Structure 1
Amino acid sequence: MKKLIIVCEEKYRVYGDYLAQLISLEDDMEEEIVGVKDGEVAAQVWLEKDYKANAAQLSSNQYILFIGHDKLIKEKSSHMKVIFSQYGMAYGWLGKQAVLCVDKVVSAKEYNDFITFALSYQDNLEKLIEEKTIKQKNIGTGAKAAGVGALAVVGGALAVAPLAGVDIFKKLTLNKKIEEQQYSCAVMKFYLDSLEEFLGL
């Protein structure tokens, strides 16, 4: 079993928890692995302060994913190969350390394209959970609803008007919500498309 430590800034811990929840899902199909093989990865979420306190004891063989966009994470990402970069979201890795971040909030002009992209990942996850639930007769509808409910993090499209004439508070609030959607999407994409490769599974 591989162990993954997910290191987050406090304000991004929700995304570390989200990835840990996705990893813990028993979502593989009979003929298809979803994300990573069920039971193959154990994930822990640490705050940055926990990482700094324990960094000296960590082995270079330890898989670590950093989520956020502060000084430590920028330093860690400076030599990493970028694997994905689109709509202001990015992730990449070098060896056994990876970084996932939102570089910039997607513009109003790109927002509709971004939300279509994000919802396609959310829909894929929901369909996979639903298909597996149908095949497993022992799982009740409550378990399926809980699984799908946990995935509905991107939500629907926000009303993104051109920002001219919007007061600064509304603009900041809107940008925060868009950034939340971007992080949720980046985590889903990393889980579905890249986590297995990063961990060498």
Structure 2
Amino acid sequence: MMPIMQNVKGGGTGMGHSRAQKQANHDRILAAAVDLLRCQGLDHTGIAEVMRAAGLTHGGFYSHFERREAMVEEALTDAFAADEARLTKAASRSDKDRRVAMIEAYLSPLHRDNPARGCTAAALAGDVARADDGVRRIFTEQLERYRDLIAGLIPTGPEAARSHALFGISAMIGALLLSRAVDDETLSDDILDAARHHLTERI
């Protein structure tokens, strides 16, 4: 009986290792997809490029996802969760008012200069407007989460707080996009400075 038990144990360990490796590869694919989506957009990020960035073969993709859209939707979900966690952490680490801390962290040169680690909503808003229903649903739900998160920090009635939050989100994303689009560094900094100044006064 002992040799049989050893074989069973060994087989179980092997299967556990296989599952762990598959999950690790899955995570690598998603991480690569998130970076590429933020930098290149929805339309310019293909399966082959993602798998190459993840250090895996193109053929292995379909053991993880049935179609490209499934990868994109899962990558977006992960990206938004990471974005929200970073924004919340930035606010909680500061001695300033949490609203001010969020605005300053978002509208910073560091954020502007690192799109691969930056706001997914800003990187993909234009593409999402032309995307399929699944992607737009994920984007919409996350925008609502941001609205509620920021509204919860504004000491007014719920309706006014949500309105202020939506204004703030729109202004921050717009300012970040413009600061990245211009080729004049001074103007780019001025856009961020102006948005920070007016938002901290109004929200």
TM range (shorter): under 0.3
Which structure has the larger Rg over C-alpha atoms?
2
- Calculate the TM-score normalised by the size of structure 1: 0.24
Higher relative contact order (CA closer than 8 Å, sequence separation 6+): 1
More strand by share: 1
- Calculate the TM-score normalised by the size of structure 2: 0.24
More helix by share: 2
